[in-house]
């Protein structure tokens, strides 16, 4: 059982494992597991999977699969376009763990680099759409449209209609996703040509701009008519087109949404890409998703943070504006970097050249006798033809993909990558050799003057200062250096599983065979991907004990929503559509209740007992009370308290007795792989966070993937093809963010059957080691039998706080002085820290963390003993920053104590760029665009 990669993946060596075992008083890993995992679910490793492969062989296999995908010339468009990622961005962001291994910027002081880039993203969206405020990313364009639909439903107080109008010229995948999302909320969709609609019957409407067929049409008149009827207006727009044509804001729209994919992010067979939602100022407190805003630190210096978090699921739960948690941070960062590198002039040049090519193509096709459907267009033209299907097919034989709109219409979309050779070939095939592609010199707009944009954009200096590569490289490095990512120190965030994202797992994502495929490419061009998906689905079936897997959901939250819809469809198929109660334990993650509400369910909270376990008596009472209305329970296992609850089987049985289904939140799967399987101990459906257990990096808060597994009776209800109406699809692409699936696939290939089991065991062992080493300083809040925890432990700060006034937040900030990212703060219990080391942290690093925690404990004791002032001390004033090294030292403790509390810091010291940030100020004075450069001088 030799596994070369396993030793690279695991932090602790064989000796370290012995050391940890003897520290916790166990003689073997088997003993640890048998004391922690309940006997009745301890199935052993029955995964029918191969043993691990070498890194070399895995890379070779990944490359051979990528090579089985055919790279055609794509003119499909429909929301996805070829684009050129500048090498300086690929090398310094996409391939740089300093960016891709960071976590969501909840600890703002050590996240200023990515916060700045996200603020740049918001500014770029604000400028291009003309809106007042933008969020920092959503999962994809159709779900952004769905979020906008829900937002207008909530905020339109004047119009109580239940109908949402979609213009007929909207991307088909958007219509499907809106169908999925509208139904459980009781919203009725009307799909009509908006030009001829009187708006008397709906609360809001959505228009695509340019239309899905490419038509650029001034929407001002329609929007004005909508406004006259108190109908809110949403425009799904194309960012590159907006450099040339009038903005949604100039047409008076309320909300603008879209995708930033074509700003340097490869199509990747569907994703990941950052969508956006921007709006007028009046809607700023209703915007879903993360919003970056300016605030200031306690020295008064400008500092960034996530604003208005009180609207988000982790605080508002079932009343949240959205269930979004993991979003598309890294992709928003990439798109912003593209905008910065090109600037206004560069983007406009790209847009003009794309437009010129489209113009020339249109002219050539008119010469060839085609009739143009799109009178005004930016980059996409649609033509009428009697033999659309045969032309579509003959072009495809030459590895060229067009979009077949119907039997009589073809659509052709161009982008920055389109070459003259490609267009020449296309024209020659379409005209049967009768016409050649005419390259005109003058860039005649086919767009009428009053549709053209005259307003400025990207005028902030950040969009003009970094156009040479040296400056760009250094700007990216400067931002990277402000943040703590996994390339700096361990990030022991409970529930988030910040494990190694191995370089070999990352390599395949940039292989052109994976990254350059259009999501709607014909199946015969995607054989490599199909095999990888089948492999991955099969492996996840083996890992979970389920019978089928859907790789569609783009994050855990989307998996929850998709899984609950599966449950709903199941009940419906049995004539029990009345079941709408979802039981959720108190301790659940915020996405659970938020997703249940999105799925049209009513949330009923189940209590937890003193030791943190689900109160089975309360569960029994509530299950009986709602019996025939009961739809599901959402339960996390091992629990969010970090314990393998003994009653899990019984809980599943109680739920099933009442005809309901068990949704098991799979975020903690890293504690189960190879040891137990949820599909075998009673769960019916789960999401699997591939960005936790299966090594997709967190990207600073996304991307992620949340596939769902189901038992066989639910298989037929899994999400379908987004291009097929009413298919219950939840993402724009059948396989979600397909291009990052090779990461999880590689992870499984590299570790194999026993490597994954061993990883689980070491993750559990390391968590118990930490709990044991810290328990004399910080009480461990919840433990199972034998006083042991699962793969994470919660330390209770409340008793210390009572004595000292030092809070969990003070500890989190003080850890920054020690060069560490805080563990998860106040989830699932306020006043606590939840620590999850994962299997990838070495004993040396774990001990360094423990030493820091004990040192902080000693500091707190000095406060308790009165040696240090209660309000003016090392912890309350943390973090300490570099500029405090100079000038008069103003604190009642030494510089050395503040900055170098332990010796090892003298060799490697990280300085946060700002002092503690004022959260209240930032929320009161909401400012979500790039600040005047003077503020930084
Ligand atoms: C991370 C997490 C989620 C949400 O998953 P995302 O991928 O961030 O949407 C849900 N439940 C639990 C317990 C989690 O830890």
Task: For 349-389, write each residue's pLDDT tens digit.
Answer: 999 999 999 999 999 999 999 999 999 999 999 999 999 99
Q: Are 68 and 527 in contact (CB under 8 A)?
A: yes
Helices (H), 329-445: 329-367, 388-397, 420-430
What pLDDT does residue 932 have?
81
Question: Looking at ligand 1, which atom is closest to the CA of residue 636?
Answer: 13
Whether residue 539 has pLDDT greater than 60 = yes
What pLDDT does residue 445 have?
77
Question: What letter would DSSP give residue 12?
Answer: S
Question: pLDDT by residue (tens digit) across 170-220?
Answer: 999 999 999 999 999 999 999 999 999 989 889 999 999 999 999 999 999
Residue with CA closest to ligand 1 atom 7: 556
CA of 665 relative to ligand 1 center, distance in Å? 8
**634: CB partners within 8 A, 6+ apart:** 560, 564, 582, 583, 584, 588, 592, 595, 596, 663, 664, 665
**Other Cβ atoms closer than 10 A to 831:** 17
Average pLDDT over residues 507-523: 98
Ligand 1 near 792 CB (within 6 A): no
- Pairing of the two strands 824-825 and 602-606: unpaired
Residue with CA closest to ligand 1 atom 14: 667
Ligand 1 near 665 CB (within 6 A): yes
Report CA dihedral (314, 315, 321, 323) to the nearest 10 degrees: 20
Question: What letter would DSSP give residue 103?
Answer: P
CA of 346 relative to ligand 1 center, distance in Å? 39
From 499, 589, 730, give the residue whose CB has the most ligand 1 atoms within 8 Å, as the site to mutate. Answer: 589
**Total length of the chain:** 937
Whether residue 936 has pLDDT greater than 90 = no
CA of 698 relative to ligand 1 center, distance in Å? 12
47-56+526-751: CATH, from 3.40.50.720, 3.40.640.10, 1.10.3210.10, 3.40.50.620: 3.40.640.10
Ligand 1 near 597 CB (within 6 A): no
Residue with CA closest to ligand 1 atom 8: 326
Both tokens assigned to 891 = 């604190």
Helices (H), 545-681: 556-573, 591-598, 616-626, 648-657, 678-681
CA of 500 relative to ligand 1 center, distance in Å? 18
Backbone dihedral angles phi then psi of residue 662, each to the nearest 5 degrees:
-105, 115
Residue with CA closest to ligand 1 atom 2: 667
Average pLDDT over residues 511-518: 98
Backbone dihedral angles phi then psi of residue 642, each to the nearest 5 degrees:
75, 35
What pLDDT does residue 935 have?
59
Average pLDDT over residues 486-493: 98
User: What pTM, to 2 d.p., does this model score?
Assistant: 0.98
**57: CB partners within 8 A, 6+ apart:** none
Angle between helices 527-544 and 741-774 (to 10 degrees): 30
Ligand 1 near 289 CB (within 6 A): no
Backbone dihedral angles phi then psi of residue 166, each to the nearest 5 degrees:
-120, 130
Residue 508 CA to its chain's centroid (Å): 20
Average pLDDT over residues 152-168: 95
Residue with CA closest to ligand 1 atom 15: 495
Query: Using CA atoms, how far apart are residues 489 and 870, in angstroms rounded to an integer?
Result: 30
Query: Using CA atoms, how far apart are residues 113 and 104, in angstroms rounded to an integer?
Result: 12
**Other Cβ atoms closer than 10 A to 252:** 16
Question: What letter would DSSP give residue 612?
Answer: S
Query: Using CA atoms, how far apart are residues 533 and 536, in angstroms rounded to an integer?
Result: 5
Is the domain spanning 73-306+314-416+424-483 CATH 3.30.1330.60? The answer is: no
Average pLDDT over residues 454-474: 98
Ligand 1 near 501 CB (within 6 A): no
Question: Looking at ligand 1, which atom is closest to the CA of residue 323?
Answer: 9
What pLDDT does residue 442 have?
62
Ligand 1 near 29 CB (within 6 A): no
User: Model confidence at 796, in pLDDT bands (50, 70, 90)?
Assistant: very high
Query: Using CA atoms, how far apart are residues 118 and 715, in angstroms rounded to an integer?
Result: 39
Average pLDDT, the chain: 96
What pLDDT does residue 439 have?
82
CA of 314 relative to ligand 1 center, distance in Å? 10
Ligand 1 near 248 CB (within 6 A): no
CA of 278 relative to ligand 1 center, distance in Å? 25
Whether residue 441 has pLDDT greater than 90 = no
Query: Using CA atoms, how far apart are residues 416 and 397, in angstroms rounded to an integer?
Result: 23
Query: Using CA atoms, how far apart are residues 542 and 397, in angstroms rounded to an integer?
Result: 39
Both tokens assigned to 471 = 């400056």
Give me the residue spans of the domains in the chain.
47-56+526-751, 73-306+314-416+424-483, 756-910
User: Model confidence at 435, in pLDDT bands (50, 70, 90)?
Assistant: very high
Query: Using CA atoms, how far apart are residues 321 and 277, in angstroms rounded to an integer?
Result: 13
Ligand 1 near 667 CB (within 6 A): yes
C-alpha radius of gyration, the chain, whole number: 28
Whether residue 554 has pLDDT greater than 90 = yes
Whether residue 937 has pLDDT greater than 70 = no
Question: pLDDT by residue (tens digit) across 659-703?
Answer: 999 999 999 999 999 999 999 999 999 999 999 999 999 999 999
Q: Are 757 and 674 in contact (CB under 8 A)?
A: yes
Ligand 1 near 641 CB (within 6 A): no
Ligand 1 near 591 CB (within 6 A): yes
CA of 636 relative to ligand 1 center, distance in Å? 10
CA of 324 relative to ligand 1 center, distance in Å? 9
CA of 891 relative to ligand 1 center, distance in Å? 40
CA of 59 relative to ligand 1 center, distance in Å? 29
Question: Looking at ligand 1, which atom is closest to the CA of residue 665?
Answer: 11
Asked if the domains at 73-306+314-416+424-483 and 756-910 fall in one CATH topology, the answer is no
Whether residue 344 has pLDDT greater than 90 = yes
What pLDDT does residue 869 have?
97
Whether residue 405 has pLDDT greater than 80 = yes
Q: Is 238 helix (H, G, I), strand (E, B) or coil?
A: strand
Helices (H), 286-328: 313-316
Whether residue 2 has pLDDT greater than 80 = no
Residue with CA closest to ligand 1 atom 4: 556
Helices (H), 378-497: 388-397, 420-430, 469-481
For domain 756-910, give the CATH number. Answer: 3.90.1150.10
The per-residue DSSP string of 721-750 comes to -TTSTTS---SSSTTSSGGGHHHHHHHHHH
Whether residue 482 has pLDDT greater than 70 = yes
What pLDDT does residue 446 have?
87
CA of 553 relative to ligand 1 center, distance in Å? 13
Question: Looking at ligand 1, which atom is closest to the CA of residue 557?
Answer: 9
Residue with CA closest to ligand 1 atom 3: 556
CA of 560 relative to ligand 1 center, distance in Å? 9
What pLDDT does residue 583 have?
98
**Other Cβ atoms closer than 10 A to 625:** 11
Q: How far apart are the first and last CA of the chain?
A: 60
Query: Using CA atoms, how far apart are residues 463 and 675, in angstroms rounded to an integer?
Result: 52
Average pLDDT over residues 863-886: 96
Query: Using CA atoms, how far apart are residues 457 and 460, in angstroms rounded to an integer?
Result: 8
CB < 8 Å & 24+ apart, contacts of 257-260: 257/138, 257/141, 257/144, 257/145, 257/147, 257/148, 258/129, 258/141, 258/144, 259/79, 259/140, 259/141, 259/144, 260/121, 260/125, 260/331, 260/332, 260/335
Average pLDDT over residues 280-284: 96
Question: Looking at ligand 1, which atom is closest to the CA of residue 560?
Answer: 10
Q: Which residue has the higher pLDDT, 311 or 137?
A: 137
Question: What letter would DSSP give residue 663?
Answer: E
**754: CB partners within 8 A, 6+ apart:** 1, 3, 6, 45, 51, 52, 674
From 665, 686, 705, 744, give the residue whose CB has the most ligand 1 atoms within 8 Å, as the site to mutate. Answer: 665
């Amino acid at each position: 059982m030799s596994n070369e990669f396993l030793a690279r993946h695991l932090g602790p060596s064989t000796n370290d494992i012995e050391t940890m075992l003897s520290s916790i008083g166990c003689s073997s890993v088997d003993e640890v597991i048998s004391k922690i995992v309940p006997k009745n679910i301890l199935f052993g490793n029955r995964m029918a999977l191969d043993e691990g492969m070498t890194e070399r062989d895995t890379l070779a296999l990944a490359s051979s699969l990528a090579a089985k995908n055919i790279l055609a010339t794509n003119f499909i468009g429909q929301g996805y376009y070829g684009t050129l990622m500048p090498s300086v961005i690929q090398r310094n962001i996409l391939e740089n763990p300093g960016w891709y291994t960071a976590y969501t910027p909840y600890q703002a002081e050590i996240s200023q680099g990515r916060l700045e880039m996200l603020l740049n993203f918001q500014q770029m969206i604000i400028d291009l759409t003309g809106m007042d405020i933008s969020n920092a990313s959503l999962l994809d364009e159709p779900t952004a449209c769905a979020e906008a639909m829900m937002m207008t439903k909530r905020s339109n107080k004047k119009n109580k209609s239940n109908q949402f109008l979609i213009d007929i010229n909207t991307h088909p995948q958007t219509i499907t996703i809106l169908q999925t999302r509208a139904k459980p909320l009781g919203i009725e969709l009307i799909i009509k040509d908006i030009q001829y609609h009187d708006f008397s019957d709906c609360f809001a409407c959505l228009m695509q701009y340019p239309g899905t067929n490419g038509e650029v049409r001034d929407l001002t008149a329609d929007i004005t008519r909508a406004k006259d009827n108190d109908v809110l207006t949403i425009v799904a727009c194309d960012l590159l087109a907006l450099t040339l044509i009038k903005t949604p804001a100039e047409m008076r729209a309320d909300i603008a949404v879209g995708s930033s994919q074509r700003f340097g992010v490869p199509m990747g067979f569907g994703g990941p890409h950052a969508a956006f939602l921007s709006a007028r100022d009046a809607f700023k407190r209703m915007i879903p998703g993360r919003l970056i805003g300016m605030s200031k630190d306690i020295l008064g210096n400008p500092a960034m943070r996530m604003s208005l978090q009180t609207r988000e699921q982790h605080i508002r739960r079932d009343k949240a504006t959205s269930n979004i948690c993991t979003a598309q941070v890294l992709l928003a960062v990439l798109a912003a970097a593209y905008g910065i590198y090109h600037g206004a002039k560069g983007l406009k040049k790209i847009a003009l050249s794309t437009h010129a090519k489209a113009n020339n193509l249109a002219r050539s096709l008119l010469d060839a006798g085609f009739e143009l459907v799109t009178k005004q267009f930016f980059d996409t033209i649609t033509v009428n033809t009697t033999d659309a299907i045969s032309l579509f097919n003959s072009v495809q034989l030459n590895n060229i993909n067009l979009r077949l709109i119907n039997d009589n219409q073809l659509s052709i979309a161009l982008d920055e990558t389109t070459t003259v050779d490609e267009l020449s070939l296309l024209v020659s095939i379409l005209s049967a050799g009768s016409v050649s592609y005419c390259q005109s010199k003058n860039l005649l707009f086919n767009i009428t003057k009053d549709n053209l944009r005259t307003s400025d954009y990207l005028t902030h200096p950040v969009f003009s200062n970094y156009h040479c590569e040296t400056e760009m490289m250094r700007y990216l490095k400067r931002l990277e250096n402000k943040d703590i990512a996994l390339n700096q120190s361990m990030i022991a965030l409970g529930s988030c599983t910040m494990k190694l994202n191995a370089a070999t797992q990352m390599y395949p994502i940039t292989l052109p065979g994976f990254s350059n495929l259009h999501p709607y490419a014909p199946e015969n061009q995607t054989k490599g991907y199909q095999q990888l998906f089948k492999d991955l689905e099969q492996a996840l079936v083996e890992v979970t004990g389920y019978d089928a897997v859907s790789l569609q959901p783009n994050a855990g939250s989307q998996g929850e929503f998709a899984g609950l819809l599966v449950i709903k469809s199941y009940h419906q198929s049995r004539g029990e559509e009345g079941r709408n109660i979802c039981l959720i334990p108190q301790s659940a993650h915020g996405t659970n209740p938020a997703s249940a509400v999105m799925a049209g369910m009513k949330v009923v909270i189940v209590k937890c007992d003193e030791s943190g376990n689900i109160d089975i008596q309360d569960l029994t009472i509530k299950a009986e009370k709602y019996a025939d209305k009961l739809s599901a329970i959402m339960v996390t296992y091992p629990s969010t308290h970090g314990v393998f609850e003994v009653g899990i089987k019984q809980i599943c049985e109680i739920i099933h007795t009442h005809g309901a289904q068990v949704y098991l939140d799979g975020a903690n799967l890293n504690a189960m792989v190879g040891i137990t399987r949820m599909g075998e101990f009673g769960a019916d459906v789960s999401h699997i966070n591939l960005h936790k257990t299966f090594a997709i990096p967190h990207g600073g808060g996304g991307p992620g993937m949340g596939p769902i597994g189901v038992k066989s009776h639910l298989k037929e209800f899994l999400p379908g093809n987004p291009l097929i109406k009413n298919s219950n699809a939840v993402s724009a692409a059948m396989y979600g963010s397909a291009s990052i699936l090779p990461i999880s696939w590689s992870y499984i290939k590299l570790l194999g059957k026993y490597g994954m089991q061993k990883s689980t065991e070491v993750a559990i062992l390391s968590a118990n080691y930490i709990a044991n080493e810290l328990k004399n300083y910080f009480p461990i809040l919840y433990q199972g039998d034998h006083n042991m925890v699962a793969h994470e432990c919660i330390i209770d700060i409340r008793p210390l706080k009572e004595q000292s006034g030092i809070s969990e937040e003070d500890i989190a900030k003080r850890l920054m002085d020690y060069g560490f990212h805080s563990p998860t703060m106040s989830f699932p219990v306020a006043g606590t820290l939840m620590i999850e080391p994962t299997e990838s942290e070495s004993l040396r690093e774990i001990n360094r963390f423990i030493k820091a925690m004990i040192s902080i404990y000693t500091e707190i004791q000095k406060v308790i003993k009165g040696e240090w002032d209660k309000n003016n001390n090392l912890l309350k004033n943390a973090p300490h920053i570099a500029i405090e090294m100079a000038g008069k030292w103003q604190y009642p403790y030494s510089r050395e104590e503040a900055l170098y509390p332990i010796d090892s810091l003298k060799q490697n010291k990280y300085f946060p760029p700002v002092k503690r940030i004022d959260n209240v100020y930032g929320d009161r004075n909401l400012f979500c665009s790039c600040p005047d450069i003077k503020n930084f001088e």
